[in-house]
Structure 1
């Protein structure tokens, strides 16, 4: 090949590389696509297992003749009951579920620190994903139940905060696309969560629990493959050595961190109600709802798909509404959106109470939980992505991943609280039980409204620099 041909070939390759680098994903950096699709499959695995977990424990694993096969369960139950008191089978299952969900969302704080300071975000995501895949496959064996939950907890801790933080790393701090990017990220979560109960739930309920858990493990492997295939488009880890100064907290950052901690604490009240949708709610569906249609009974796990289908259906409308409000300068501030979300979910819980009162002791029509899920979707869209975007934008650079991971503390607290609230399902009537949850989540709306002025001023103290 001549020198001119070599030069032309090099120019063409450079031009192709440049065009490749300039490709976008729906107007966003290309790396968002790999993160979004990897997260979708990871959520498929996570929610596939979670859709079955409560039904699996109450209907099979904790029953006499089965629980004896679970390694170390006697010791584990003794520890749990030493903290929460004697528990019935249903209350024990609710508390285990609450502890599991709580710890799944607690460990991202530690995982975020590891990603920020030691092993890097990409490595943390990969290790976490491998642990989660192992945990899903171990769920297929009764004896390994507690070890499977431990692997899932540790894996989620490494993956969650670091993967979400990589979404934020794709944008400058003042990039207006950040909110929509996190909304797309949350849509991927819900896409995976929608398909998971239909696949894993159907396999588990109709053909065998272990088939459902195995399908969740396969989904996790797909997520790993997608993430690794797009590593060149994912933000590079920031590395630090002895000669490189690490980012440090600046004056005023402490007030911002405390203010964000306040938001996290308040939104935990929302998550106490939202987590109950995966905890005691399936038992309510199984026992109190007429699920029969055309001589067939709708599997309980399919309602978890309805929950996410409602989010997917309403998300474009909500995003369109925000854009229209923004053009008129009337889009609510982040904190106002969070309060609106809490109100929507509280009203959804009140709706379940009304359905019980109107049922007259008979089974509840399937239309009531259907409407319930669409009201829950409005609450979710106004709370989850908005709070995540707020923290990613406002958290100081020195602790950004850590603070994104710390947001999962809200779900940690809410999960533990929901497990404790689950014991009242047997002590109260169903109407009173759901009204109690409406009051809990509604109090979050009141608190965020009362504190919004103070919190907004704190977030405005430090200007957000472009990066």
Structure 2
């Protein structure tokens, strides 16, 4: 997108009206609030729904398989973001992508809310994967469009936006988790569907007044001839997929195990190919190529971070259910409630970090150093959670405060890395690939969860010390490397701070 177009979008957005930030931040804040309420409400009970017995309202899957499916599902959710980014950049813009994505997500949760078979479960997964791929990268990209490139409010704006994400994420496990675990899983999924509906209503009724031209421009539109080719290719691919699935499932070639391997390969291959494609594109300038090189180590660091953070809804969710003392201080704790710890700590600390970056101004750590701090805290969070087994053994139930401490430490890292990564992505993105680069950022989480799907099978109470120790140690090592090479990476950013 040309600099002139970017400036035109900024000028169309009311620049004051939401805590000293552009008015459009209100619309995107609450749209994402309800989308995250919807998504994380569903996610808080999904793994339990998969491995709880039929008599308890679940699907009765094997526990290790449920954890792996949860990881590949998370990977596919973020992997689909590359499709959503491409559609926004080439066909209909970010605003329409957000709206269409919200509709698909809502339908996916409605499918989960209907008591039925395994088939309905997979239909819902497909709808939610596609819907989140459309909505998630594009709503974040629109936040970046509200600010000029050198607006010092940008990082703080993303931190406020990130707090909105986590307000929804905090309430969802407490409401959806309680209803789903104590009453009925399907009723819980129904509440998640209502949440997405509310997000769509807010977006529709406030976008014209608050967002101006943000999300309406198509960065690199397809010509009519190109559109015909795209539609034809989509049709061919869809038919091929149906044929492949129809043949391989009866033959036993396409199984959960083989799907886990396929997603693992795609999780690494897709972002690699995308980096190569953007770097070699004639629409990418020499300065943008240098910034892409700087983005690569940040992307690798993000993969390592999310590989730890995302296990909060798989390994640590299972740990809460099976290894934690749930009767504590006179109350019975639902294992789903632990999913609220991460967003709760972010709600408390996000304003502190937003204030800190503004207060430090030019003296704040560089982007690579913030990423290094993020990895440091992520590694420590896993080293902390191995201590209960060291002191008490693998059979004793663990005091829930150990889990609370682990979630708290990883949040310190998340606030160093995640909102900063969103902001850095909008700054380092090549102009012709603005929405697609935001999709690439979310592919770091896709790659992380694709890797997690391969490694969760190694976790058990007997191996948990080695499991947490090895992963936490690797994160600490990468943190040290990133601290060491931060000045070099900063140089490749060509003036981006």
TM range (shorter): 0.7 to 0.9
Q: Contact conserved, 2:38 with 2:172, CA < 8 A, in 1?
A: yes
Q: Contact conserved, 1:272 with 1:441, CA < 8 A, in 2?
A: no
Residues 66-465 of structure 1 correspond to what in structure 2 (within 5 A)?
Answer: 66=59, 89-140=62-113, 141-143=115-117, 144-232=120-208, 233-234=210-211, 235-239=214-218, 240=221, 248-326=283-361, 329-360=362-393, 361-426=395-460, 428-460=462-494
1:85 maps to what in 2? none
Larger Rg: 1
Q: Contact conserved, 1:343 with 1:445, CA < 8 A, in 2?
A: yes
* Superposed CA RMSD: 2.5
Shift of 1:249: 2.3
Q: Aligned partners of 1:440 and 1:90: how far apart in 2?
A: 26
Q: 1:65-118 CA distances to partner (integer Å, 9 max, x unpaired)? A: 946xxxxxxxxxxxxxxxxxxxx9222112111110001111111211110111
Q: 1:19-71 CA distances to partner (integer Å, 9 max, x unpaired)? A: x956511111101100001100000000001111111111146999946xxxx
Deviates more, 1:143-152 or 1:23-32: 23-32
Q: Contact conserved, 1:273 with 1:440, CA < 8 A, in 2?
A: no
Q: Aligned partners of 1:135 and 1:440: how far apart in 2?
A: 37
Structure 2, unaligned stretches of length 5 or more? 1-12, 225-281
Shift of 1:434: 1.8
Q: Contact conserved, 1:94 with 1:420, CA < 8 A, in 2?
A: no
Shift of 1:447: 3.8
After the TM superposition, list the runs of 4 or more consecutive aligned residues in structure 1 that deviate by more than 4 angstroms.
20-23, 61-67, 239-243
Q: Secondary structure at the match of 1:24?
A: coil
CA 453–276 in structure 1, closer or farther in 2 if over 3 Å, else same: same
Which of 48, 53, 56 in structure 1 is aligned with 2:49? 56
Q: Aligned partners of 1:22 and 1:56: how far apart in 2?
A: 45
Structure 1, unaligned stretches of length 5 or more? 1-19, 68-87
Shift of 1:452: 2.2
CA 409–61 in structure 1, closer or farther in 2 if over 3 Å, else same: farther
Q: Secondary structure at the match of 2:26?
A: helix
Q: Aligned partners of 1:66 and 1:414: how far apart in 2?
A: 26
Q: Aligned partners of 1:455 and 1:183: how far apart in 2?
A: 23
Q: Aligned partners of 2:176 and 2:22: how far apart in 1?
A: 32
Q: Contact conserved, 2:156 with 2:358, CA < 8 A, in 1?
A: no
Q: Aligned partners of 1:123 and 1:280: how far apart in 2?
A: 36
Q: 1:407-429 CA distances to partner (integer Å, 9 max, x unpaired)? A: 01100011111222211113843
Q: Aligned partners of 2:110 and 2:57: how far apart in 1?
A: 24
1:74 maps to what in 2? none
Q: 1:200-228 CA distances to partner (integer Å, 9 max, x unpaired)? A: 00011000111111110100000011111
Shift of 1:241: 7.7
1:24 maps to what in 2? 17
Q: Secondary structure at the match of 1:200?
A: helix
Deviates more, 1:429-438 or 1:187-196: 429-438
Shift of 1:438: 1.0
Q: Aligned partners of 1:277 and 1:128: how far apart in 2?
A: 25
